[in-house]
Amino acid sequence: MLAAVKLALRITNTAFDSEIESLIDAARLDLQLSGVRSDKVNDDSDKLIERAITVYCKAHFSLDNPDYERYASSYDSLKRHLTLAGDYIETVE
């Protein structure tokens, strides 16, 4: 996931790897707290999860991000769709 997010952020060095990893972890936790299944949240091959995490990181990477609102809104929309999709939520039996 780190490589995909770094590519989206257009970062080629390793100077920000720990910050980016922290954002990836925060995105995963936020998705789980919203009801997305942990196995899905941790599936790096799932393109919807990858996109949600990437957009979260794009929103939160810089404190003075002029596009914060746009990316945060996009992330919230993706998160909402994931929490409504039956394949992504915990089922109660």
44 part of a folded domain:
yes
Q: In this structure, is residue 93 part of a structural domain?
A: no
Structural domains in the chain (count): 1
Q: For residue 40, give its domain range.
A: 2-8+17-88
Of 47, 66, 11, give the one whose Cα is nearest residue 82.
47
Q: Is the dihedral of CA 83, 89, 92, 93 positive or negative?
A: positive
**Cβ proximity of 52 and 82 under 8 Å:** yes
CA 7 remoteness from chain centre: 14
- Entry pTM: 0.92
Per-residue pLDDT for 93 more than 80?
Answer: no
Give 90's pLDDT tier (boundaries 50, 70, 90): confident
